[in-house]
Amino acid sequence: FEGDQLVAQSVIFFIAGLETSAVTMTFGLFELAKHPDIQERVRSEILGIIEDGGLTYENVLKMKYLAQVVNETLRLYPPAPIIDRVASEDYK
């Protein structure tokens, strides 16, 4: 790739990454609006982390419930629905 082609390819990667993140966040907020009890639990977790040393990378990793909410959002609204997922265990 050279010149304009290189720029165009770079922009495609940028837009694709931005769009998938924006769509995931939109669906996540939609689900939180539908489930105020879950929204409150996520909010409490975030406020607890902020009070316990601020918003750092290490503290974000401690937000287990928020991570579960994001994973559930990705399960319900996958950015690439063509990719099949296989359960690692049988579900009853």
Whole-number Å distance between alpha carbons of 67 and 30: 16
Q: List the chain domain ranges.
A: 3-76
Where b means 16+ CB within 10 Å and e means fewer, 51-78 reads eeeeeeeeeeeebeebeebeeebeeeee
Query: How far, in whole angstroms, is CA 33 from its chain's centroid?
Result: 16
Distance linking the first and last C-alpha atoms of the chain: 52
Position 69 scores a pLDDT of 97
- Cα dihedral value 81, 90, 63, 35, nearest 10: 70
Overall pTM surpassing 0.75 (yes/no): no
Rounded average pLDDT per 10-residue block, the chain, 92 residues:
76 69 92 98 95 89 96 87 74 74
Position 81 scores a pLDDT of 65
- Cα dihedral value 6, 10, 12, 16, nearest 10: 160
